[in-house]
Amino acid sequence: MIKSEIKKPDTFLYFGYGSNMLSFRIHMLNPSAEFVTIGWAENYRVDFIRYSSFWGGPTATLVPTANAHAWGVMWRLHNDDLAHLDLQEGVEVKKYFVTHLLVHTTHMGDFTCRCYIQRINPLPRADNEEIPIERWPSWALKEIMIYGAKEHGLPDYYIKNLKRLKHNGEEGAIRTWCLLDRYARNMPCECRVPGRIPREPLKLDNKLKKDFRWTTEIIEQKD
């Protein structure tokens, strides 16, 4: 993709640095999202604050930090998904605020992208300062970020830094979603078990999946 092809009418560019680096995650609520490229924001670092019951730990944010940088994924979304993205990030309930960051790319130059930063940010810390446990992400959020980074080919050193993050061991509601999605796509086991009463396999239709997505939206708004 060349630079002139990136911007299209009725679309906007979005920089995801947390769970929305993973394609499956962002497409849950924003089906129009198209991968553009990877890039980084200068003088920012990724940190975690404000507990989320959905994730089972604090959620990601960008903290202004001199001489630091945060890698992420640049997406192109249709304007119709703008409200969905704001809802997912909790803009209306004042969890995150909208900003526009200059995102640098390796081969295509710089782009101004929509981005979300928490309204309550952690205090500055030194490189070797111990991170308090309340700012450790959940196991689920850490794994989703690593999967997203690997999926889109973020630099190896950055992926190693993500792997070094301490986590609180919580799986959050993401485990429930993964189980539901797996069950919807794969037939359940029909092994013959002594004493088992034969039943028709449960079918998880698209309506139920949509209801679950709506439930996750409500949970995130309440966090």
Whole-number Å distance between alpha carbons of 119 and 83: 19
Tokens of 28: 């849950």
Does 223 have pLDDT greater than 80? no
User: Which whole-number Å values give the CA distances from 151 to 24, 56, 135, in the listed order?
Assistant: 10, 23, 25
96-110 pLDDT per residue, tens:
999 999 999 998 899
As a whole number, mean pLDDT of residues 81-95 equals 93
Displacement of CA 186 from its chain's centroid (Å)? 25
Tokens of 80: 């119709």
Q: Categorize the per-residue pLDDT at 219 as very low, low, confident or very high, splitting at 50, 70 and 90.
A: very low
Does 92 have pLDDT greater than 70? yes
What homologous superfamily does CATH list for 3-164?
Gamma-glutamyl cyclotransferase-like (3.10.490.10)
Q: Which residues are catalytic?
A: 89
**For the chain, what are the domain ranges?**
3-164
Tokens of 163: 């792997």
* Top-confidence residue, 199 or 79: 79
Tell which residue, 121, 116, 33, has the closest CA to residue 81.
Answer: 33
- Residue 214: per-residue pLDDT: 47
In SS3 terms, 33-93 reads as: CEEEEEEEEEEEEEEEEEEECCCCEEEEEEEEEEEEEEEEEEEEEEHHHHHHHHHHHCCCC
Tell which residue, 19, 45, 43, 47, has the closest CA to residue 122.
Answer: 47
Residue position matching structure tokens 């539901």: 180
Does 47 have pLDDT greater than 60? yes
**b or e along 52-74 (b: 16 or more beta carbons within 10 Å of the residue's beta carbon)?**
bebbbbbbbbbbebeebebbbbb
